[in-house]
Structure 1
Amino acid sequence: MMKSWMLAGFVVACATTSAFGQDYNGGAFCQILGPGPDVTLCELYDFGSTQRVNGGAWNGVASAVRVGTTSWNVGSAQLLWEQMPDPDHPKITMNIYRLMDGRFENIANHWVKHGYFALSDQQCSDAALGLCQGTNGTRLGLACTDTYSPSLNATTALLGPRYEVNPWSGTWSFSGSVFDIGGPSAYLGVRQLQVHDNDVSLVGNPGARYFAEGFYCTGDDICVYNSAAYKELFITAYQPDGRPIFVGESDRDTPPHQSFAMLAAWDKATLTEIAEQMPVIENVSPDGRAVVGAHVTDLGGGLWRYDYTVMNIDMDRQIDQFWVDLPAGVTASNLYFHAPMLHEEIYTYHNGGMSWGPPRDNDPWVGVIEADKVRWSTDAHDPGTSSNPIGWATAYSFGFTADTAPTTGTMGVTAYKPGAAGPITGATRAPSAGVNCPGDIDGNLIVNLDDLQDLLFSFGSPYSLDDLQVVLFNFGNDCTAP
């Protein structure tokens, strides 16, 4: 698997090819850790399609999926785990993703499960951590685990909309929440992972891979990147009513991959972390971060398809605009957009008896090709106007076709909620200015070992023996030289 990381900052792009520090638990992309609680997932299991959705926007055309999770405190302090209405408890989300033809898409998301009572189990262990140091249930002790079964994670009475939670601070208020004043009517599959039939059809999704992800959002955790984990899902058959039968990668005893799925499962993607302030420092920076993934497909005939997925990890201000810069003379076409359906969450915003929360909708973002960029946006923040920003632990996908090979370019986002002015920009894979440079596979206008590696990794599709000969013949050429 080929993966590269870039870092970016607020307003001014300051991207570099740099690696994050590794924390003790192996969770990649964490800065050097200080003392404190560090929650991770050591089990992700039982991905059964539980029931046919029989209400809401996807009545009769979707299936509800349940996932079990086991959290594990691998840090150096106890993790807060109070029970509602106290806000100091974990907020647990789940997603399902599809990777197909180079595109990584968020196809299902789950309402927030509000944690209660931390067990003092040791479902997972490590000699370096020692034995679980048990508590009274209001804290997750050092080296201790807590398991929520698939049925508990899908219990409607414990599920609230994501918009009620500030993912950066971990704060939440019982007052005015769905637990305080009620929510949308219940039906089979309500608030759970709803997977549309079209997204999991074997006929309509040839070669697709699927991933389930869990994420524990807490205010006192010292590393967000190992607070998520994922496993690959496999469809073995379908029930007579159309429900797919999912089988998770390996079994419950096999640990999940400790990472957000997009950061590790998207082959050959370039990843860029962006934030209002870089580096992001837990409990210090003004807001959290997002990650932008980029993947480029050579379509042949002088055309390349550029695919991007913007994942809001824990930015409370959310994202309402995304763009990629275009050099002069580049022709872009075939704009693409995908977002998961925010089932039921939008109804809690309506004024017909349910008036809390800012307006929200499922409207697709509007894409436009401008003179110097390709840009997508939803309606700007307005208390009286519905909109569809990228909320936390959620990923939206974008794409277009261009007539030049990739190089390192600039992309950017704007924050939805009011705050510091200006865009957040970073480096990514983007169309080049169109200089002809035979053998330059990665688009940096230099033919070197990186191009040979990229070609060999994708040899046979799309690259052939003829392409290999071009790289070898031009090896060492620097097309940036005068």
Structure 2
Amino acid sequence: MHTKLGAIAVALATGAATGVAQAQCGASGKDLLLTDVTAVTNYTPSPGGIDAASFGSLQTNVGSTALTSNIFSALHPVQAPNLYRLITSSGVSRFEQIGMGWAFHAGVPLNQAGFCTCEGGGGTSIGPGCSDPHTATSAGSAMNLGPRWQVNAASGALTHPYTAPSGTNAGRLQFAVADVTPALNPGAAYFAELIVVHAEDAGDGNALNNASVRPVLTSLAGDNPVISLSGATSPGVAAIQLWKDLVPGVVEAFVDVAGDGRFIVAARAVRLGGNQWDYEYAVFNLNSHRSAKSFTVQMPPGAAAVTPGFHDVSYHSGDGPGGATIVGTDWAFAQSADAAAWQTDDFAVDEAANALRWGTMYNFRLRGGVSPDLGEAVIGLFRPGSPEAVAAVVPVPARPSCLADHDGNGHVEVADIFAFLGDWFAGLPAGDALGDGGNGVPDIFAFLAAWFSGC
């Protein structure tokens, strides 16, 4: 299904990839980059409505020195596959991770040219500028897969030998059939992401460009989903970074944990009907080993109760400490006098808790009568250490919502009239001043009455 949003995603991703090779080749030290998502293999869904896929890849050492790739030791690359869905309905945009797979342990490097100029490498190394291709079939073979929990993405340290999965589609990128069925997801766009991890890459300070994304299309062959590649790969770009390019109003922040890894926080606040606002936060853990246990946003003192929401991705096939799959218990929500917070169990209580671990993205959402301003969203860290938390500056609920202040900037101005009328004529929920589910002439009178009264 090639939707309008999907077509825009393809165009943007194609543009993002232009000239990347010239810009990134010749980096200092050892720098392993996932330079292309090359192919896809689709599998047969299970009776429970869970399907699977795997992706072929081209990984390139864009650095200046050779990088070890010895499958018989812990010094070799691993790749983690993810699947995302972007869907916008009634002005509200959701960018969600809907699938994940185990880590693919890459084998003997082939040292080919293609992305950079290959300077040559040996049987257990990827030379400067050399590329290493892997097929989608090998990336979906159980013998090449190991659980993510055995990988420290911040340092690149791996458990060796790794534990392979067993069972149909075990360890492969898994996702719900319902999440990719076109009729159930009108207008949705989809993205495949691969994250490469290597100890020498991390040791040389080059681990922050390890995610790459490519648009994909979804269709059905009978009742079976089919994923196909579309557009071009954007090397070094995480999937969540496309949200701000595709949807107006998204604010993005990089949050680095000292001595550890990086989170990417993307947020959007949008006015709805009836003087309500919707807040959407997507928090992606690129490579923080310490992971996240809580997410807290500021609220104005004494704010009315808001309606919360939460979305995560399902672990599977025994990916968790001791071989027990991490249980996807939703994070508990609580609203205090000046904050709204979600939290899972502490590490000391349960090291297999549903923490936001490397290579995954969770969503946190609010809806209520509070308008936005820039403020702090705090990520509480799961594994013990210092600091205990880090923060991003993104839109947060800041003040009671004023109907006349349509753009939510804290001032009632003539510009608000034009902004309201623009939404009203476009048929967007923000044009429904009365909150009765439709944009009618009474909504214009209600807005103007509020504007002339000052709120």
Match of 1:167 in 2: 153
Relative to structure 1, the CA distance from residue 458 to residue 197 in structure 2 (aligned partners, 3 Å threshold; closer, same or farther) is farther
Alignment of 1:102-117 (within 5 A): 102-117=93-108
Match of 2:12 in 1: none
What 5-or-longer segments of structure 1 have no aligned partner?
Answer: 2-21, 28-32, 54-58, 126-130, 278-285, 350-354, 474-478
Match of 1:17 in 2: none
- Kindly provide the amino acid, as one letter, of the partner of residue 255 in structure 2: I
Does residue 43 (structure 1) correspond to residue 36 (structure 2)? The answer is yes
**Deviation of the 1:382 alpha carbon:** 2.6
**Deviation of the 1:288 alpha carbon:** 0.7
Q: Contact 1:290/1:313 (CA < 8 Å) preserved in 2?
A: yes
Identity, % of aligned pairs?
24
Q: Contact 1:330/1:402 (CA < 8 Å) preserved in 2?
A: no
Match of 1:389 in 2: 355
Cα deviation 1:170-200 (Å, max 9, x = unaligned): 011316x42xxxx55x222110111201211
Q: Contact 2:369/2:401 (CA < 8 Å) preserved in 1?
A: no
Match of 2:11 in 1: none
Match of 2:242 in 1: 264
Q: Contact 1:25/1:74 (CA < 8 Å) preserved in 2?
A: no
Alignment of 1:22-101 (within 5 A): 26=23, 35-53=28-46, 59-84=47-72, 86-101=73-88
Q: Contact 1:170/1:219 (CA < 8 Å) preserved in 2?
A: yes
Q: Contact 1:61/1:196 (CA < 8 Å) preserved in 2?
A: yes
Higher helix share: 2
Cα deviation 1:241-263 (Å, max 9, x = unaligned): x221222113xxx4445400101
Alignment of 1:180-329 (within 5 A): 184=165, 186-221=166-201, 222-236=205-219, 238-240=220-222, 242-250=223-231, 254-256=232-234, 258-266=236-244, 267-268=247-248, 269-277=250-258, 286-329=259-302
Relative to structure 1, the CA distance from residue 289 to residue 258 in structure 2 (aligned partners, 3 Å threshold; closer, same or farther) is closer
Q: Contact 1:51/1:188 (CA < 8 Å) preserved in 2?
A: no
Relative to structure 1, the CA distance from residue 458 to residue 312 in structure 2 (aligned partners, 3 Å threshold; closer, same or farther) is farther
Relative to structure 1, the CA distance from residue 110 to residue 42 in structure 2 (aligned partners, 3 Å threshold; closer, same or farther) is same
- CA distance in structure 2 between the partners assigned to 1:451 and 1:229 by the alignment: 42
Alignment of 1:396-415 (within 5 A): 396-415=362-381
Cα deviation 1:137-183 (Å, max 9, x = unaligned): 322111211111001111111111111111111011316x42xxxx5
Does residue 341 (structure 1) correspond to residue 314 (structure 2)? The answer is yes
Q: Contact 1:441/1:455 (CA < 8 Å) preserved in 2?
A: no
- CA distance in structure 2 between the partners assigned to 1:314 and 1:458 by the alignment: 43
Relative to structure 1, the CA distance from residue 65 to residue 36 in structure 2 (aligned partners, 3 Å threshold; closer, same or farther) is same
Tell me the SS of whatever aligns to 2:240.
helix
Cα deviation 1:422-469 (Å, max 9, x = unaligned): 3212211111223749556263659799999999899836367x99x9
Tell me the SS of whatever aligns to 1:320.
strand
- Kindly provide the amino acid, as one letter, of the partner of residue 106 in structure 1: Q
- CA distance in structure 2 between the partners assigned to 1:39 and 1:113 by the alignment: 15
Q: Structure 2 length as normaliser, TM-score?
A: 0.80
Moved over 4 A (4+): 22-27, 383-386, 435-440, 444-459
- CA distance in structure 2 between the partners assigned to 1:77 and 1:461 by the alignment: 57
Tell me the SS of whatever aligns to 2:380.
strand
Cα deviation 1:349-371 (Å, max 9, x = unaligned): 4xxxxx468x8322111112222
- CA distance in structure 2 between the partners assigned to 1:143 and 1:78 by the alignment: 9
Does residue 362 (structure 1) correspond to residue 328 (structure 2)? The answer is yes
Match of 1:18 in 2: none
Relative to structure 1, the CA distance from residue 453 to residue 34 in structure 2 (aligned partners, 3 Å threshold; closer, same or farther) is farther
- CA distance in structure 2 between the partners assigned to 1:79 and 1:172 by the alignment: 16
**Deviation of the 1:35 alpha carbon:** 2.0
- Kindly provide the amino acid, as one letter, of the partner of residue 83 in structure 1: I
What 5-or-longer segments of structure 2 have no aligned partner?
Answer: 6-18, 434-438, 449-453
- CA distance in structure 2 between the partners assigned to 1:458 and 1:220 by the alignment: 55
Match of 2:388 in 1: 422
Aligned length: 409
- Kindly provide the amino acid, as one letter, of the partner of residue 182 in structure 2: L
Q: Contact 2:275/2:401 (CA < 8 Å) preserved in 1?
A: no
- CA distance in structure 1 between the partners assigned to 2:424 and 2:394 by the alignment: 20
Relative to structure 1, the CA distance from residue 25 to residue 344 in structure 2 (aligned partners, 3 Å threshold; closer, same or farther) is farther
Q: Contact 1:117/1:137 (CA < 8 Å) preserved in 2?
A: yes
More RCO (CA 8 Å, sep 6+): 1
Cα deviation 1:390-418 (Å, max 9, x = unaligned): 11011011111021221102111111111
- Kindly provide the amino acid, as one letter, of the partner of residue 84 in structure 2: Y
Q: Structure 1 length as normaliser, TM-score?
A: 0.76
Q: Contact 1:332/1:401 (CA < 8 Å) preserved in 2?
A: no
Relative to structure 1, the CA distance from residue 274 to residue 459 in structure 2 (aligned partners, 3 Å threshold; closer, same or farther) is farther
- CA distance in structure 1 between the partners assigned to 2:147 and 2:396 by the alignment: 35
- CA distance in structure 2 between the partners assigned to 1:436 and 1:333 by the alignment: 16
Q: Contact 2:104/2:139 (CA < 8 Å) preserved in 1?
A: yes
Relative to structure 1, the CA distance from residue 122 to residue 399 in structure 2 (aligned partners, 3 Å threshold; closer, same or farther) is same
Q: Contact 1:329/1:433 (CA < 8 Å) preserved in 2?
A: no
**Deviation of the 1:105 alpha carbon:** 0.8
Tell me the SS of whatever aligns to 2:346.
coil
Q: 2:142 aligns with which of 156, 167, 173?
A: 156
Match of 2:124 in 1: 138
Tell me the SS of whatever aligns to 2:241.
helix
Cα deviation 1:104-135 (Å, max 9, x = unaligned): 1111011001122221111334xxxxx31111
Relative to structure 1, the CA distance from residue 224 to residue 420 in structure 2 (aligned partners, 3 Å threshold; closer, same or farther) is same
Q: Contact 1:323/1:412 (CA < 8 Å) preserved in 2?
A: yes
**Deviation of the 1:228 alpha carbon:** 1.9
Q: 1:379 aligns with which of 345, 350, 361?
A: 345
- CA distance in structure 1 between the partners assigned to 2:237 and 2:414 by the alignment: 31
- CA distance in structure 2 between the partners assigned to 1:422 and 1:324 by the alignment: 16
Q: Contact 2:121/2:130 (CA < 8 Å) preserved in 1?
A: no
Say what the alpha-carbon RMSD is for the aligned residues. Answer: 3.4
- CA distance in structure 2 between the partners assigned to 1:378 and 1:325 by the alignment: 19
